[in-house]
Amino acid sequence: MKYLGIDFGTKKVGLAFGIKGDGLSQSAIPIGTIVLKDWDGAVSDIVAVMLEYNVSCIVLGNPKDQKDNDTQISADIKKFKRFLELRIKKPVVLYNERLSTKDSIDYIKETGDNKYDLDSVSAAFILERYFDSLEN
């Protein structure tokens, strides 16, 4: 199955593509960032990426705090999830993205790999962790 990972922010939306199942090993790679001007434009860009990569499911990061409670941006993310679902008619799964930005910063510093921006690397971390959760 082909997935699109999304790291939703107030200014940018990071994207990652991943495959899980069908005898293939799981993998997720950063594929880019959308500058968020409005939700309609973001959804149009997301739909274009979904068509390009033949995506079946979206994994949308939702940052939780250390006690597994929603954070300040969680309400907006949940609204965006509903907005997206109404327009794409594909499953959208919320997944806890706690520490994905920190881990992305650490990854970029350690590897020196700055080919992709922080938001798309975070989206790849979200997707990889979602894949790991399916194994448990």
For the segment 118-133, the average pLDDT, to the nearest whole number, is: 88
Q: Which helix (H) or strand (E) holds 59?
A: strand 57-62
CB 58 within 8 A of CB 92: yes
For the segment 31-51, the average pLDDT, to the nearest whole number, is: 94
Q: CA-to-CA distance for 80 and 77, rounded, in angstroms?
A: 5
Q: CA-to-CA distance for 61 and 93, rounded, in angstroms?
A: 8
pLDDT tens, position by position, 79-97: 999 999 999 989 999 998 7
Q: CA-to-CA distance for 121 and 84, rounded, in angstroms?
A: 21
Q: What is the CA radius of gyration of the chain?
A: 14
Q: How many domains does the chain have?
A: 1
CATH of the domain at 85: 3.30.420.140
CB 81 within 8 A of CB 28: no
Strand, helix or coil at 112?
coil
The number of CA neighbours under 13 Å toward the Cβ of 135 is 10
For the segment 25-36, the average pLDDT, to the nearest whole number, is: 86
Q: Which domain holds residue 112?
A: 2-135
